[in-house]
Amino acid sequence: MNAPVWVPIVRGSLASGSVRVDAGARSRSTPVDWVGEADLARTATELEFVFVGGLEVGKGRWSVGAEAEHASLGGSLDWKVSDAHIDGSLSATIARAWVRYEAGRHEGGPSGWCLSWGPTAGVRLYAVGFEARGEALDVDRSRTWIDPTLGLDASLRTPGRTTLRFAGDLGGVATGSNLSWYALAELRVPLARRWSISLGWAWHGIDFHAGRGNDRFDLDILLTGPRLALAVEL
């Protein structure tokens, strides 16, 4: 069981009907710099990114897992329509479930090193909405869809039980998104017998297009940022 927190920088665009809204992080570097470029009280109330949590169980070479998160981003982003600043907000609930098979394992003998890897297959559920307000502009749209995913997961464990992990997948294409992808690189360090902490970086790209004319809904964004997780083995 794990309880991760992710604070991403957001880049990209959203469109509804004939209106395209560009969204970009206020800072050109890291989330820390947002404090210097926006009102702190406003940012604290309008920037939220909370993981509900995750759970993974396994037996032999097989394991199954699930994870969910919710994002609400407003004051931390620059919202523009044709270079004109407007008020806007983006909300997203993302839930994922997967099955992993350990296709390969290489032990380091007495040294205790272990390299393991295997494919993953699963689904991602998206519930996304955005609002934009400006001169002669009033947009409030939402969409929900599911992406099937295929990916790869690899980890390298040291003799001290510290683990370096890389994971990624591709989703959509045939149904759901035109293309979605997720990648994670993290270092997991044991704290106690059953507890560990992970520090890493995650990337999540979403390219979704649906409808035409006034019913058009387009989403083309990239979320990237640090990820911290506390995990316990039950």
Cα 45 to Cα 130: distance, rounded to the nearest angstrom: 17
- Give the per-residue pLDDT at 45: 43
Q: Other C-beta atoms within 10 Å of 176: how many?
A: 20
Q: Are 132 and 79 in contact (CB under 8 A)?
A: yes
Q: Confidence band (pLDDT; 50, 70, 90) for 4?
A: low
Q: For the whole model, what pTM was predicted?
A: 0.79
- Give the per-residue pLDDT at 147: 95
Our CA angle for 169, 173, 176, nearest 5°, is 95
Interstrand relation of 9-16 and 62-73 (parallel, antiparallel or unpaired): unpaired
* pLDDT surpassing 50 at residue 43: no
* pLDDT surpassing 60 at residue 177: yes
pLDDT digits (tens, 9 = 90+) for 56-111: 888 889 999 999 888 777 655 666 677 677 777 778 889 999 999 999 988 877 76
Mean pLDDT of 120-144: 83
Question: What are the structural domains of the chain?
Answer: 2-232 (2.40.128.90)
Which candidate, 91, 75, 79, places its Cα nearest to that of 142? Answer: 91
pLDDT digits (tens, 9 = 90+) for 133-174: 777 667 777 889 999 999 999 999 888 789 999 999 999 987
* pLDDT surpassing 90 at residue 47: no
* pLDDT surpassing 70 at residue 219: yes
pLDDT digits (tens, 9 = 90+) for 162-171: 999 999 999 9
For the chain, the first-to-last Cα distance in angstroms comes to: 7
